[in-house]
Structure 1
Amino acid sequence: MDINVSRNGLGDELAVASSITDEVRDLMLRADLTAAEVKPDGHLVTELDRAIDALVRRRLAEARPYDGVMTEESDPFEGRSGRTWVCDPLDGTRARDLGVPVWNFALALVGPDGWPLVATVLNPLLGRSGERFAAVLGGGTLCNGKRVRVAPPAALGVPIKVGGTGDGRDAPGSVRDTFFTLDAAGSPPAMRRRSGVPTVFKGCRVATGQLDAAIYCGRHAWDAAAIALLVTEAAGRATSIDGNVQRYDREVRGLVVSNGSCHDLVTAAATAAYRDHF
């Protein structure tokens, strides 16, 4: 199945994003790019992060020289078109270092109004041939060529499944946990399970209906832009952590993505937990 790009004229932009993602996949499967160091902010960075970052910037300079570029590992480039490519070269660097196959490449083209127009996400290790998402504004979301949709509303009395931040360093309360449930009153879970599952991976689980919602407590647009489009084009909802529409070509106020029906419940819980965070 193909994404419908006839209504929005974004076929060329999707082709650029897809071509870059093809090249990134080859890089991600190389076993020699393993040297790592800890950045001043405490996050891990490897040769692979930097190699992907350089590849993306090089290809975008060739294909879309007037667009801006914002990536995790380099200073932003201010373009003249009003559009910005936002990229996380490797979301889940620590997971890759530990051998846990939940790390992803994420790329989004954000329009002049701050909303994503095109997005691709790649996990090269899940399944037989990896997992690849693509979305275009108004064209839906595909995973490995098949259309996906968020989960239906939970039945009355059934707790909703939420992907928390997974980051215990600055995440308060129950939303620190990687996976938890909320009941209809927004009560925190009685039991919790913690691990470092990356934001993009959990956002993709919302797009496929495996999670009802996911929370991101950070400020980086590259952690949020691609999954905001993937989820909304899968009939879900994406807002700041306090439930507001926001831009994805600059610092964000966290992110909540959901199936829509539980969104207000999740944002209320997240806002209460992060009242003094932003």
Structure 2
Amino acid sequence: MSAPVEPAEPAELLDLAVEVAREAAELVREARARGVSVAATKSSEVDVVTEADRASERLIRERLVAARPDDAILGEEGDDRAGTSGVRWVVDPIDGTVNFVYGVPAYAVSIAAERDGEVVAGVVLNVATGTTYTATLDGPALRDGEPISVRDDAPLSQRLVATGFNYDAGLRERQAQALVRLLPRVRDIRRIGACSLDLCGVAEGTVDGYVEEGINLWDHAAGGLVAERAGARVEVGTGVLGRRMVIAAPSGGFDVLRRALVDAGYCD
């Protein structure tokens, strides 16, 4: 009779995630140097997929399966893979594909590990800069191995808030209307174009908050953990358009931002 398999430790899962993310980032970097073309569209003609997205996810899946064959995998570009270990990998092979296509230096490989449905480890690697954000459920948030933390609480009028827009034209029109109502109440708005990096921005204090509706688990799983371990509160719910919404801000000022978002029409 074989011995029972020991549960995977978050640090062990993070080490594997970082190793695989680095290899995928190198693939994406080389693809960008060769030139980028759009391979397909998804939800609309502006929601694009490149061959590099697909190649990156294939590589990530192959490496994860080779290292941990009993784990499940959820990825943006491939079919879900069932597992029996209690661990599921949540993969975004290129978060910020439009930035990647245009050469805007804000696109990332994002890999998170769930254990029994809870995210316990995550890495977000900005391919263009090499900056690597990591966290485990029982450890600190790190940027290139150094601890990071959210900004101190500030009045709403002095907060820089990151956001994004849905690819559906009708939905983004309503998001723009909410943004018009929020903008006079905050310092300014930033639209970076990659959810995972927005959340890491909250974690390192380069923005004071983040809100976006219409994203998926692979967009926020790793970045959300990094933000939480850096001192942010991250809320995943449903926005007024009926899509998944993420709000993130330093814990002490979260409620003030959320009330402003309700007033602006982002959520109830």
Give the alignment's TM-score, normalised by structure 1. 0.80
CA distance in 2, matches of 1:48, 1:133: 22
Contact 1:207–1:236 at 8 Å: present in 2 too? yes
Q: Show CA shifts across 1:55-76 (max 9, x none).
A: 0110111111111101100111
Mapping 1:37-116, distance limit 5 Å = 37-42=39-44, 43-112=47-116, 114-116=117-119
Evaluate the alpha carbon distance shift between residue 173 and residue 25 of structure 1 in structure 2; reply closer, same or farther with a 3 A threshold: closer
Aligned pair count reads: 248
Contact 2:161–2:190 at 8 Å: present in 1 too? no
CA distance in 2, matches of 1:238, 1:77: 27
AA partner of residue 65 (structure 1): P
Correspondence for 1:125: 128
How far the C-alpha of 1:84 sits from its partner, in A, is 1.0
How far the C-alpha of 1:36 sits from its partner, in A, is 1.2
Correspondence for 1:34: 36
Query: Is the aligned partner of 1:260 residue 2:251?
Result: yes
Correspondence for 2:202: 206
SS in 1 for 2:152: coil
Structure 1, unpaired ranges of 5+ = 1-7, 181-186, 244-251
Q: Percent identity?
A: 28
Evaluate the alpha carbon distance shift between residue 147 and residue 175 of structure 1 in structure 2; reply closer, same or farther with a 3 A threshold: farther
CA distance in 2, matches of 1:176, 1:122: 31
AA partner of residue 230 (structure 1): V
SS in 1 for 2:34: coil
Structure 2, unpaired ranges of 5+ = 1-7
SS in 2 for 1:261: helix
Query: Is the aligned partner of 1:230 residue 2:232?
Result: no
Contact 2:209–2:250 at 8 Å: present in 1 too? yes
Evaluate the alpha carbon distance shift between residue 242 and residue 93 of structure 1 in structure 2; reply closer, same or farther with a 3 A threshold: closer
CA distance in 1, matches of 2:132, 2:127: 8
How far the C-alpha of 1:189 sits from its partner, in A, is 1.5
Correspondence for 1:151: 151
CA distance in 2, matches of 1:240, 1:160: 21
CA distance in 2, matches of 1:63, 1:19: 11
Query: Is the aligned partner of 1:189 residue 2:183?
Result: yes
Q: Show CA shifts across 1:42-97 (max 9, x none).
A: 21111110011000110111111111101100111111122210011001111111
CA distance in 1, matches of 2:252, 2:36: 42
Determine which structure has the larger helix proportion and give its number. 2
How far the C-alpha of 1:166 sits from its partner, in A, is 3.8
Contact 2:183–2:189 at 8 Å: present in 1 too? no
Query: Is the aligned partner of 1:165 residue 2:142?
Result: no
Query: Is the aligned partner of 1:216 residue 2:212?
Result: yes
Query: Is the aligned partner of 1:19 residue 2:19?
Result: yes
CA distance in 1, matches of 2:162, 2:26: 29
CA distance in 2, matches of 1:55, 1:120: 16
Correspondence for 1:139: 139
